[in-house]
Chain A
């Protein structure tokens, strides 16, 4: 295993605290339900109900319950114009702000791939006359734009921070957290809201199906017989703050972000370089950013989509950089929520650190021949976690890794 030479964090940079998180995903609404589902290794993938998948190979996804969304009790959710992904964002932000009352971000950096795409679909189908639009065309147009759910969530809580919406495909959420981390670390910002969101849409679902990237079977990240991903949806929020500022005001600090690395793999628009160089560069960058050695990472929440190429490249990079570190992909439980995935998995990483457990990689049976990964199979396990690395990789060759550290006591 090559050495990553530990470098101390530069003296002129700030520490970055996570002071609150919020989450809505197929695993549940809120941190409590999410933790329970993770601990139980619950399979939350189900047959798609939102649109016809009759002619698709894949017929399942991780889905957020509409009934629960509209009954969640937040009066802001009842507006007809709101897209359901905006509702998810409002719930996730509400949960986070409840832990950090009065948190006023100077900047919001949030990731997505397609925002309220289903409104665009509804608009187009309305044009074609094949489905009567239930909303006015103007409302669909104004509310389908990818940045709108963040604006809606901010409006719901009276926030007006400028919004940088990162659309780096499936790495969007981790890129957003990473950039937000660097904004606070540089000392330019004291408080930044970050996260990610995406909702299932027919266009994206069929797109992955057309590429044969999604599977008609179970999603089995890192399994030798893996045959593709299933999609998911959700939203997750992390509130970041200058560590000293948060400590001085007596805020509860739930974790610390210590490192961020990214790379752009120019091999192909949709396929990683099989050498694993892209993921490796991102993970090495995160370790160097954190100033720690690979051996100090106790768990990797892998991107692990269960596509043959992605898992092979990521697995190779992990095996080369780390020596037996615990690895799991939580996408087998909930699907791949694209722009939300990095944020959801960062919140899962925080839960793992807070509760000292290793989330499982369900549906795993046998690993690739010659690839020695310490996969957390089937069930969650107790662990002793100091730092966790969370990976996200996407179309366009975008690769991002963040490192999150436990807070003692």
Chain B
């Protein structure tokens, strides 16, 4: 079965226009950090979505009380449909599936909801907040906005969850019931996440994020959403999706990533869009790239966009597809080749997206330009 990318959209710390953010990445822009205060410790730096980036969010009643993660998802999802020039009516919505990928989910409302319980007792718990803490609340809002009344799935996982969602979409598209599948990954930043990742020894306090550095100095969390509309055709094909594997201890990450690369890099690979984020997973990915596709260009976008966990692998896939579409690569984000000119037209035909999550999940996919 042929599976292609029909449309893409994103909300990132560099904005929410597909072409605009891509231009900024090509121009060498990196998202600016902003300190968010924590009531329980030092302030932490994150890469937030700028306020104007969700200005075009629909004025749907479902978004009135929702957390920002749902707004990110709505803006990205609608942008992907617009990019594909697909307008959903009752018939097309019935033939469109939604697969939502998330890692931390609606952490802001969850933290607020539980904070009230801890501080003031269960009688203070808000019935307005609780439904928004449920992992599938953003997917439910997006389905309501789009009028999708059939298949809607929310997948949870670590940074690999976006690829796992694309894999699930591929499986769903085997069913002739569906013409399209919209895959959305989203995440929102909060001080509680920063505290957790800091205690997990995965964060650094200030930029830059240095992918593939030894020793790893940590990453910076970001937020936003990525959306990819799949159809049975499209100028960018998903040639292969490696459903992933798991590792149990950090030292086993290398074998798990190697397995993914061995599966995806059997044919010529021009570009690897890496998940390197300045943490322990970079070494595993680096070794696998060196062994399986040593001649490929390696793009590490988290140096500019940060680690948004549930959204990141969708962003990586969008960057891979944009590289193939535009035949340009953000030179400043190329590992080992910083400052070199972007490749001339016609050289990029295949890209591999790899993800080594921070909590034991590994996955990847291979894109091809038609």
Chain B residues numbered 101-145 whose CB sits less than 8 Å from any CB in chain A:
102-103, 110-111, 113-115, 117-119, 121-123, 125-127, 130-137, 139-141, 143-144
What distance in Å separates the Cβ of A400 from its nearest Cβ neighbour in chain B?
10
- The answer on a CB contact under 8 Å between A203 and B117 is yes
CB-nearest residue of chain A to B196: A141
27 residue pairs of the A-B complex, CB under 8 angstroms, read A53-B122, A107-B243, A112-B156, A115-B156, A137-B196, A145-B359, A154-B246, A160-B245, A162-B243, A163-B244, A167-B135, A167-B154, A167-B155, A167-B156, A179-B168, A206-B125, A208-B130, A262-B150, A264-B98, A265-B149, A266-B140, A266-B144, A395-B137, A395-B140, A396-B136, A397-B143, A398-B152
**A182 contacts chain B at the CB level, 8 A cutoff:** yes
| Docked complex Cα distance between A395 and B139 (Å) | 11
- The answer on a CB contact under 8 Å between B243 and A395 is no
- The answer on a CB contact under 8 Å between A264 and B363 is no
Q: Which chain A positions have C-beta within 8 A of B359? A: 142, 145, 147-148
- The answer on a CB contact under 8 Å between B147 and A266 is yes
What distance in Å separates the Cβ of B181 from its nearest Cβ neighbour in chain A?
13
What distance in Å separates the Cβ of B161 from its nearest Cβ neighbour in chain A?
8
- The answer on a CB contact under 8 Å between B153 and A55 is no
What distance in Å separates the Cβ of B47 from its nearest Cβ neighbour in chain A?
21
Which segment, of A123-131, A357-365, A377-385, faces chain B? A123-131
- The answer on a CB contact under 8 Å between B201 and A138 is yes
Given A121-B114, A281-B149, A395-B140, residue A164 in contact with residue B164 (CB < 8 A): yes
**A169 contacts chain B at the CB level, 8 A cutoff:** yes
B98, B127, B167, B175: the one contacting A164 at CB < 8 Å is B167
Residues of chain B at interface, number, CB under 8 A: 67
A141, A167, A188: the one contacting B199 at CB < 8 Å is A141
Given A127-B195, A203-B114, residue A266 in contact with residue B246 (CB < 8 A): no
CB-nearest residue of chain B to A128: B118
List 14 other contacts, CB 8 Å, given A162-B244, A169-B135, A397-B144.
A123-B196, A137-B199, A138-B201, A141-B197, A145-B158, A163-B244, A168-B152, A183-B171, A209-B122, A210-B126, A211-B127, A262-B150, A269-B140, A395-B136
**A28 contacts chain B at the CB level, 8 A cutoff:** no
| Docked complex Cα distance between A115 and B141 (Å) | 22
| Docked complex Cα distance between A169 and B133 (Å) | 11
**A146 contacts chain B at the CB level, 8 A cutoff:** yes
Q: Which chain A positions have C-beta within 8 A of B122? A: 52-56, 202, 206, 209-210
**A165 contacts chain B at the CB level, 8 A cutoff:** yes
Q: Which chain B positions have C-beta within 8 A of A162? A: 164, 167, 243-246, 361, 363
Q: Which chain A positions have C-beta within 8 A of B137? A: 269, 395-396
- The answer on a CB contact under 8 Å between B136 and A167 is yes
Ranked 7 nearest A-B pairs via Cβ: A396-B140, A207-B130, A167-B135, A162-B244, A162-B243, A210-B125, A266-B144
